[in-house]
Structure 1
Amino acid sequence: MCTGKCSRFVGLSLLPMAFISMIANLLLMFPNGETKWTNHIATQVWLMAGLLGSGLFMLCPSCNAIRAGGKGCCGEGCCGNRCRMLRSTISSIFGGLGSFYCVIVSATALADGPMCFSSKEDNWGYHMKNLNESYLVNKDVWDDCVQPPKIVLWHIVLFSIQLGIGALQFILCASQLINSLLGIMCGDCRKDDKNKG
């Protein structure tokens, strides 16, 4: 596959993922879509890994990868699109760090569980954190969290989305890093494809 076409594919894949991750993080701030629980939100939500790491940090690598898939900076073929590929290399490193941040925060959030009001302990806290068996496989303990309602499922689904997107973005940024390095060394093959046709 041509380095330019590959860059465009990666950029167009990263862009919607960034918006989905931002939406997931915003939803985590309002459990069940209600504003009355904002005083009792897990620390990992306030770290904004989905909004920043896999969201805003990913817009730069995405746009640069899409631009690297366009015509070269001096017109068609002059520098083989090497200038844009160089920018894409740098922004791919930046995006990889953001997605890695999102993966770490989301994995920690899934391990700790949500902050909730426990009917057993009669207080707010991370009641799923120190259980003998992981709350992820033992659904019976979910009912211990009475407020916000169904917070455990809300927490698992949205942080799982962020975790999955962050991991996929990390892989795409790594592949774009390799692709753009090849583009810097070898140029863009699309001019050759046009000459053949």
Structure 2
Amino acid sequence: MCCSVGFARSLGLALLPLALCCILANLLLLFPMGEMTYIEQGRLASYIWYFGGLGGGGLLMCGSVLAAVVGLVGASYCFVVSGLALMQGPLCFTSLGWSYPFADQGGYLLQSATWSQCLQPLHIVEWNVTLLCVLLGLAVLEFILCFLQLASGVVNAICRPCCYKQEYNL
């Protein structure tokens, strides 16, 4: 365990598919139910535009192969933005117009009967909840892997002298 260069490389390679999944999930959030209408009309929830999955869980995570600290920050950012977006709920068209009908109702996630308040985009609550939960889960996995990668690098730096002792003769 002392010399963990292979372990750090394996973690780095594991982070790449997670980053790609975060990027894909964030891009799907931009196109509710696969339609471009809502992005063109500016009818997306505000937290979607913070690009938690694209930037934090995606692009910054790819940089974590070289710098685990950047990956920890990226995973944390993805987790926080996704959590805030989940708590706020989607921007949707209701009987009162475009609004965030669940912003003041913290328990809307457990009350699926209220989701029908959103008339457009159709099934937007399910769409957002599913993808934001995917982003939360991926962010947790990325955070754990980055933490392990960082710990592995620290252990390797500390143990390297004992692992590669060389005797020098004059």
If the length of structure 2 is used for normalisation, what is the TM-score?
A: 0.89
**Of 85, 88, 100, the match for 1:126:** 100
What runs of 5+ residues in structure 2 fail to find an aligned partner? 165-170
Once the two structures are superposed, residues 124-165 of structure 1 have per-residue CA deviations (whole angstroms, 9 ceiling, x without a partner) of: 11101112x611110000111010000000000111111111
Match of 1:25 in 2: 26
**SS across alignment from 2:136:** helix
CA–CA separation in structure 2 for the residues paired with 1:15 and 1:43: 27
CA–CA separation in structure 1 for the residues paired with 2:45 and 2:31: 11
Match of 2:14 in 1: 13
Distance 1:187 1:136, change over 3 A: same
Matched, 1:41 2:44: yes
Q: Once superposed, which parts of structure 1, at least 4 consecutive aligned residues long, lie more than 4 Å away?
A: 188-191
Count of matched residue positions in the alignment of Structure 1 and Structure 2: 162
**Conserved in 2, the CA contact under 8 Å of 1:3 and 1:188?**
no
Match of 2:168 in 1: none
Matches within 5 A, 1:98-113: 98-113=74-89
Matches within 5 A, 1:171-190: 171-187=144-160
How far residue 92 of structure 1 moved from its aligned partner, in angstroms, is 0.6
Matches within 5 A, 1:24-173: 24-38=25-39, 39-62=42-65, 64=66, 91-119=67-95, 122-131=96-105, 134-173=107-146
CA–CA separation in structure 2 for the residues paired with 1:32 and 1:151: 7
What runs of 5+ residues in structure 1 fail to find an aligned partner? 65-90, 192-197
Distance 1:187 1:125, change over 3 A: same
Identity within the alignment, % = 39
Once the two structures are superposed, residues 33-57 of structure 1 have per-residue CA deviations (whole angstroms, 9 ceiling, x without a partner) of: 0000111101111000100001000
